[in-house]
Structure 1
Amino acid sequence: MASVAPSGFAAHTSADIQVKLLGWYDRHARRLPWRAPPGAALQDPYRVWLSEIMLQQTTVATVGPYYQGFLARWPDVDALAAAPLDQVLTAWAGLGYYARARNLHRCAQVVSEDLQGVFPDNEADLLKLPGIGAYTAAAVAAIAFGRRAVVVDGNVERVVARLFAVETPLPAAKAELKALTDTITPGRRAGDFAQAMMDLGATVCLPRQPKCLLCPLETHCRGRAAGSAADLPRRLPKKVKPTRHAVAFWLAGPEGALLLRRRPEKGLLGGMMEVPSTDWRDSRWQESEAVKAVPLAADWQALPGMVRHTFTHFHFEVTVWAAMTTRARLPKTAGRWVALDGLDGEALPTVMRKIIDHGLKQTADLRPASDG
């Protein structure tokens, strides 16, 4: 079904927007490691897919080194599919949203094993792959295969909300913004157009203090004309994030090795390594409760201070108990010893590295307990 331009927004205006924006992109496109120059041949689907998964809810500056590191180790989808999941999780550590890494690995296996290493070239089939949602399917179809697809991320939502002066607040406005983006998406150079919209939002149509005088679409922007551009898109008030609490058990063993264990495959930080802890809950832990969860009998001491971390949906506060032991053999459920110089090779999420760093700074005076 053909898209219909909104009232008062003629088809020739959409064409003018396309010409102006693509012309601007040809001159001002950001040079990014996963991006081909404007107007160049289609890009490697593996590289487009890898970058788009990494960029979900993560900044371009953060993704760059991770992307280069993944390509150096796994230059194509078959190499990534053959890698052990633990290596992939370790290489991903620090990027957050770890379900993306597990789905990335599973998707690579499906493409490699079931599709002979060839990514589908259309949104419908891309959507069938693990970890690929509507945005990623559209982005890969447009950028890697030149398909006309409506690509809408946070930057594009902001540009379109201002361009059409959409007053409906997010997230309720998402469907409307995608429909409006459809009215200005061209049939040719759809991938360049999508990346141009992203670049416009990232460099000119900024969340605060947009650089309207530098915008190639200024004369078409209804938000600019109404004086409301800087206030768009509207958003509903954010819900207050709850705070969860835990006690983490920082245990140093023979030769200073630390006790780590693997988290369950499903759930938050699934499959990652962790410092053993109590459950994470809404109320603070009393000493009499937390002591029941220690991984090993030892002379546990509560360390000064607290480790704080913020996840997407909640804040996290961790009290750290520390102890030292001479016991080398551990109960099967406790975890395993990891040497300090081997921590970089473990799939440790940022919050766990914070806990480890806190323990290292606070335990200089601890001495091993007599374990019998």
Structure 2
Amino acid sequence: MNIDMSYVKDFMLKILSVPSPAGDTDVSINMLDEEFKKFGVTTVKTKKKALIATIEGEDNENQKMISAHIDTLGAIVREIKPNGRLKIVQIGGFAWSSVEGENVTIKTIKGKEFTGTILPDKASIHVHSDVVRETLRTDDNMEVRIDEFVKTKEDVLNIGINVGDFVYFEPRTVVTKEGFIKSRHLDDKACVAAIFGLVKYLKDNNIKPKYTTHFYINNYEELGHGIAIVPEKVKEHLALDIGTVADHQTSEETKVTICAKDSRTPYDFEFRKKLVDICEKNDIDYVVDVHYRYGSDASIAATNGFDVNFACAGPGVDATHHYERTHISSIENNVKLLVKYITE
């Protein structure tokens, strides 16, 4: 199976470079819409501005849906402090320690952008001594230092920053010579790139899927309310989301992870077995794992009452919701699974 991994990698780097925290994903959604159209794939947008692309298959009665999410972690300005620093509130779930020292961009409602850095309010060990080491990072003591000459709340308001403005984390994407990809927001842009690797493979090889397949690009997964529509004839929903690489987990950075259970629900046993069988039949490196503090598009849709069978798979990613890392081979194994899933 000749997957164009150069394209997959380059497209992943492209979408990683475009900020898309949940609630501010229009630019990225439009970029994906244009990419689908380059391949001649029909798209529609939902009222919540998610994107659904459809490739017609030989079997139009037993349709499949593959989802991934373009929205990421981020923050919103909660308060402008009297000293000209910003208090922020999280978009999605992460530890403040995971973004301490990160460079950010503040985007105002009028489209102006300013840079800054996330720091605790007592950051210098020269000044605050062991308080810096011992203080728990919380919503109340983390702040953004703006890279402008601002020392008061009025100074900040005067340059155009206000409560409600979005804060983007710098992704710091690096590809190593060994094929590791380090970046924020691999969750879930690595999976979005895998979908486009599948689409390109189908078009390059003039392959029509066995089943009509919908690709649902979700824009609110990190907040738990993404999937709003499942086309009527869809029988199976496969969510693409990251496998959690850590001690006591089976996920690996070079393999595709098939999820047996997350924090909401077990996934359907027969559907999971089908994915395992595809991997074993086609020599696709995989593991089965259980994810603890985790939910996917599929489990959220299932618990919201959509009557469709559901499963979850994705590349193994280390340090999820922190500064993440995966390997290009994991994404390739994911694409191979997708190809076989919709063509056999």
Q: Same fold (TM over 0.5)?
A: no
Higher relative contact order, structure no. (Cα contacts within 8 Å, ≥ 6 residues apart): 2
- Richer in strand (by share): 2
